[in-house]
Chains A and B, each alone.
Chain A
Amino acid sequence: MNTVPDIFRILPEVILTVTGVIIMLIDASLRPERPRRSMGWVAAIGTTFALWASLWQFSLPQGTAFFGTVETSVFTIFFHVLICGIVLVALLVALDTLPADSHHQGEFYALVVFGTVGMCLLTSAIELLVVFIALEISSISTYILAGYRKQTGRGPEAAIKYFLLGSFATAFLLYGIALIFGATGTTEIYDIARQITSAPNHALVLAAMAMMLVGILFKVSAAPFHVWTPDVYEGAPSPVVALLSTAPKAAAFALLLRVLYEIFPAFDTLWVPLLWIVAVLSMTVGNLAALRQQNVKRMLAYSSIAHAGYLLAAFASIGSIGIAAASFYTAAYAAMNVGVFAVVTLAGGYNDDLPMIDDYRGLIYRSPLLGSLLIFFLASLVGIPFTGGFFGKFYSFSAAVQGGAIALAIIGLLNSGLASAYYLRLALAAAQRPTNEADRPQGRAPQLGVAVGAGLLLAVSATLVLGIVPGEVLRTAQSGAHTLQSIPPQTTAPVTASASTIHPAKF
C-alpha cells in the first residue's frame, strides 16, 4: 500500500544530517588556523536543500514510514518549511556576525544543523519515543549553542540554566509518555488516539496529559514555565537567540498541536480552560515584565513569552480553525522574531555591544536601513496591519472569538496595546535624533554583507507576504489542520503488532 520509499519521508532530515556530518569532517581535517567561515555556507546550502526537499514532499501522498513512526502530511511539511526557513535566516545572519577568530565556528554550524534535524523530526514524528528522541536532539544542540560565549560569565550561566531546567521539563514529558504507555499499552500516537477514550484508568491518562503539557509548555516558554527565557536570551550570543527564540518553539508548538488535537481531543473540556489560563498568564506576565526592562534582549525575551500567550489563545477554538490559526501565528511570529533578532545582532554584533534600549538612540540616523528594518519588525510585533504580526493576531483572536472566548480576545488585544508601549520605546529610541555627536553610543558601524542581506531580505519578505497576501499560507495551514485532525482508520493488521514486528520487505 505504501509505495513511497521510506527514505523520501525523512528526506529533509537526511539531507541535514549529511550536511552536519560533512561540516564536522571538514572541520576536523582543516588546520586549526584556517578560517572556517565557508562552513557556514555549506550549512546554508544544506539547509536550502532541506527546504527544497520539504517543499518537494508536497508531491508525496500522505502516509507514514519506518513502521509508523514518522509521517508526511501537509501539517508536517508546513512546519518543516517553516523551521528550515528560520534556520536559513539564522545561519545567514551568523555567517556575517560570528567572530572570524573563533575556533569553534565549524562546530557552531554543525550544531545548528543537527539541532534542525531534531526540530524537523519532532514535527513529523507520530511515535512518542521518536518524539522524545527528536526533542533531545534539538535540545542538546541548543543547550550547547546557548553557552557559546564562554568568555563572559553570562554565557555559561545561560547554558547551565537552560540545560538544568530543560532537562527537568524533558523528564516531565518522558514521564507523561510513560504514563500514557501505561494507560494504553502503546506509544504510537494514532493508536493512543483510538484507545484513549476506552482506557481503563482515567486518572492515569489525565496525569499523563498534565505531565506532557508541562514539558511542552516549558519549551514554548509559556508562563508559568517561562523563567528561563530572559536569562538564556541575555546570555546567549545574538545570532543564536535569533534561532533559539523561533525554531525550537515552532517545533514545540507543532508537538503541542499534535498532542492536544490528536491524543487528547476527547479531553478538550479540561485542556481548553487550562490553556485559557496559561494564555492569559503568559501575555500578561510577559508584557508587564517587558515593560520594565532596559535590556533589549531581555525585553524581547519577555515579548516572546507574551507572543506564546497570543498564540495559545487560538487553542480556545477546538477544531481546524484553532489549529490553522496557531500554525499561521507560529509562522508569522517566527518570521518577525528572527528578523528583529537579526537586526539586533547586526546592530550590536556577536558580543552584544548595544545591550540597552538607550544604546539604540539615533540608530536610524547612523544606519537608515537598519533603523528602518528594526522599526518594521517592531511594528510587526506590535501587530500593525499589513505585517505578518497583524494577521497572526487576527487569526488567533478570531479563532478565540469563534470558540466563544470573547473575554480572552479582549484581554489579548488589550495586552497587545500594552505591549506596543515597550516595542515603541525601542522603535522611538531608534527614530530619535541624536542630541549631539558626543552623545552617540560608540557601537560598531553595522556592516551589511551579502549573506546577512539575503537573510534579512528573506525575513522581511516573509513578514510582508504573511501580512499582505496571507491567503496561500493560511490555506496550507488549514489543510494541515485537516490532516492533523483525521486519524487514519485502524489497518487490518493491528498496528501495535506491526510496530513491533519487523517487515523484512521494507529493506
Chain B
Amino acid sequence: MDAINQSILTLILLVPLAGAIVVALMPDRAKLPNWIALLTTLASFVLTLHLPEHFVLGQGGFQFEVNRPWIQNPAINYHVGVDGLSMWLVVLTGLLAPIGVLVSWKVINQRRKIFYSLFLVQQTAMFCVFISLDLMVYYGFWELSLVPMAILIAMYGRKDGPRAALKFFLYTFIPSAPLLVAILWLYARTGSFDYATLRILIAHGSLAPTALSWAALAFVVAFAVKVPVFPLHGWLADTFAEAPVAMAMVVAGKLGLYSMLRFHIGLFPEQARIVAPCLIALAVIGLLYGACLALVQRDFWRLLAFAAISQLSLITLAIYGLTFNGWAGGVYQILAHGVEDAAFFLLLGALEYRYGVTRIDAYGGLGAKLPRATSFFVITALAMIGLPMLSGFVGEFIILSSTFTGVSRGWAITAALGVILGAAYMLWLVQRIFYGPESEMAAARPAADLEFREMAVLAPLAVLMLVMGLAPSIWLTSIQTGIHPPQPKEAAVLHFPFASVSVVTIPSQEEGRR
C-alpha cells in the first residue's frame, strides 16, 4: 500500500500523458481516439479516487508526497503532494475528464487525434498544477496548460477561433511574465523553489518587505486573470463562445482560485491581507456586473460566461475574506460550481449539437419535446442558484454567512443581491429555452431527446449535486484539515500549508467556525 501511496500522484500524471502519446501514435480511424481517451480518463479518474480513500484526516500537512531532484542547478525538484485543499480539486479534475471526452464524442468529427491528445496533455497539466509543491514545476505546468487550450480554440472555434485563441493566450500569458520574474526573484534571494521552504523564509521576514509586496502583487495579478476577477475578465466571454465544450468546461475558475489560496495567501499572508480589501471590492463588483450582463446576453455561451464571472467572484470574495470558514466554503463552492458547470455545458452543448444555434431567442417551448433534457436542466439551474438541499446552497451559505460575520455586513448584503440576480438570469434562461410557445426553429427541426451517452453522464452529476447538498461533511471535513491544521500553531508554522495565515485572521472568527 505504501508503494501505491508513494506513486499514486505520479501515476495520476502519467496516465493521461501516456494516453496522449498513444492517441497521437494510433491511426485516426473511426472512433478509436475517442475510446482510448475515454478509457484513459476513466482510469485516471479511478486513480484520483484513491486519494480521498486513503487520505488520513487527523494528519495535517501534505500527503502522498514525493520529492525527487529534477534539475541540480537551479534546484528544481519534482515535489508533489496533496492536502485537504487540493485533494478534492484533483478528484474534480479527474471527474470532469471523462465527461469532457463524452461531451466531445460526436461534436468533434475532424482531426480527432489532435483533439484528444491535446485534451489529455491539458489534463496532465491541470493535475500537475494542483499537486506540485515546487514553484518552478507549478509555473511550468501552469503555462503548459495554456497551449492545448489555445490551439483547440483556434482549431474548433465556432466563428472566429484564432481571434479568441489569441485573446485568451495573450490575456493569460502576459501576466505570467511578472509571475516568473517574481518566482526568479524569490529564488535569487532564497535559493529555493520549494513551497514549504519559501513559506518559512517569508514568514520569518528574511526578505525585503517592499520587494516582497511587489512579488505578491505579481502572483495575485496572474491568478486574477485566470479566475477571472472583474476588470481582467475580457477573454472569458469569447473563449466560452468559441472553445469546444470540453475545453470551456475547465478553463475558468478552479486553477486560478486554487492558486490564489495556495500560492498567494499561502506564501504571502501579510501582503495578501493588504490587498484583500481591494480584491473583496472587485469581487463584489464582479458579482453584480457579471449577473447584470448575464441578464442581457443573447447567446447562451456568453450568458454562461458572465454567469461564471459572477459565481467565481463570489468564491474570490470568500477567499479574500481571509476567514477559515470562508476558505472552506470557497473550496466547496469551487467543487460544486465545477460539477454544475459541467452539467450546464453538457446540456447546452447537446442543444447546440441538435439545433446548431446558440441564440437564446431562437429557442422556446422545448419542454414538451425534450422532457429529459428539461428536467436535468432545471435541476442544474436550481443547484446553481443555490436552492437548499442542492450543491450550490452549502457553499453560498457558508460564504455569505462568513462574509457577514467576519468581513463586513455591507459587502455580504451586496453580494447576496448579486446571488438573487443570479437566480433571475438562470430562471429566465430556463423559461426562454424550455417553456413558452414553441419557437419556429424548434418546430422546424425535430430533434431526439437526450441519448444514453448523455444520460450516463448527467445522471451521476445530478446525484452528485443532490449528495453535495445533503451531506456536505463528506467533503468539508477533509477540506478543513487543509485549511486549519489540527495541531498547535507553533509547530504548525513549519509543517502546515495554512498555519501562518491564522495570524492574519481576527481571533474572534475562530469561534464562529463550523
Contacts and interface: CB of A to CB of B under 8 A. Distances in A.
Interface of A: 364-365, 368, 372, 375, 379, 382, 384-386, 390, 394, 397-398, 401-402, 406, 409-410, 413-414, 416-418, 420-421, 424-425, 427-429, 431-433, 469-471, 474-475, 478
B113 A368 contact: yes
Given A424-B169, A431-B151, A431-B155, A384 B144 contact: yes
Interface of B: 70-74, 110-111, 113-114, 139-141, 143-144, 146-147, 150-151, 154-156, 161-162, 165-166, 169-170, 173-174, 176-178, 180-181, 184-185, 187-188
Contacts of B166: 421, 424-425, 428
Contacts of A390: 140, 143
A390 B181 CA distance: 13
B155 A401 contact: no
B215 to A, nearest CB: 11
Nearest to A372: B114
B174 A414 contact: yes
20 contacts: A368-B114, A382-B173, A385-B140, A386-B144, A390-B140, A397-B184, A398-B184, A402-B188, A410-B177, A413-B178, A414-B177, A420-B174, A421-B166, A424-B169, A425-B162, A427-B154, A428-B151, A431-B151, A432-B155, A433-B156
A45 B468 CA distance: 66
Contacts of B70: 471
A384 B155 contact: no
A76 B191 CA distance: 30
Given A364-B111, A398-B188, A421-B170, A413 B151 contact: no
Nearest to A365: B111
Contacts of B139: 385
A398 B180 CA distance: 10
B198 to A, nearest CB: 16
Given A368-B114, A433-B110, A470 B170 contact: no
Contacts of A431: 151, 154-155, 162, 165
A418 B141 CA distance: 20
Chain A interface mostly helix, strand, loop or mixed? helix
Going nearest first, the 9 A-B pairs with the smallest beta carbon separation are A413-B177, A385-B140, A417-B174, A428-B162, A428-B154, A431-B154, A431-B155, A471-B71, A401-B184
Contacts of B184: 394, 397-398, 401, 409
B165 A424 contact: yes
A470 B70 CA distance: 9
B25 to A, nearest CB: 12
B169 A386 contact: no
Contacts of B161: 428, 432-433
Contacts of B143: 384-385, 390
A475 B146 CA distance: 30
Given A385-B144, A428-B162, A410 B188 contact: no
A63 to B, nearest CB: 27
Max count, chain A CB within 10 A of own CB: residue among B141, B143, B151: B151
A433 B161 CA distance: 9
Contact of A420 (B72, B173, B180): B173
Nearest to B24: A372
A375 B169 contact: no
Contacts of A394: 180, 184
A428 B178 contact: no
B262 to A, nearest CB: 19
Contact of A379 (B110, B147, B181): B147
A420 B73 contact: no
A413 B222 CA distance: 13
B149 to A, nearest CB: 12
Given A398-B188, A413-B178, A470 B71 contact: yes
Contacts of B73: 471, 474-475, 478
A292 to B, nearest CB: 15
A432 B114 contact: no
Contact of A475 (B72, B151, B169, B170): B72
Max count, chain B CB within 10 A of own CB: residue among A414, A431, A478: A431
A419 B448 CA distance: 47
Given A368-B113, A420-B169, 10 more contacts: A364-B111, A385-B139, A401-B181, A401-B185, A406-B185, A409-B181, A421-B166, A431-B154, A433-B110, A478-B73
A168 B143 CA distance: 43
B72 A471 contact: yes
B488 to A, nearest CB: 38
Contacts of B177: 410, 413-414, 416-417
A409 B182 CA distance: 10
Nearest to B165: A428
A433 B74 contact: no
Contacts of A413: 177-178, 180-181
Contacts of B187: 398
Nearest to A433: B155
A179 B155 CA distance: 58
Contacts of A429: 162
A368 B185 contact: no
Contacts of A428: 150-151, 154, 161-162, 165-166
A432 B166 CA distance: 12
B151 A398 contact: no
Given A433-B110, A478-B73, A397 B144 contact: no
Contacts of B181: 397, 401, 406, 409-410, 413
A343 B125 CA distance: 27
A386 B140 contact: yes
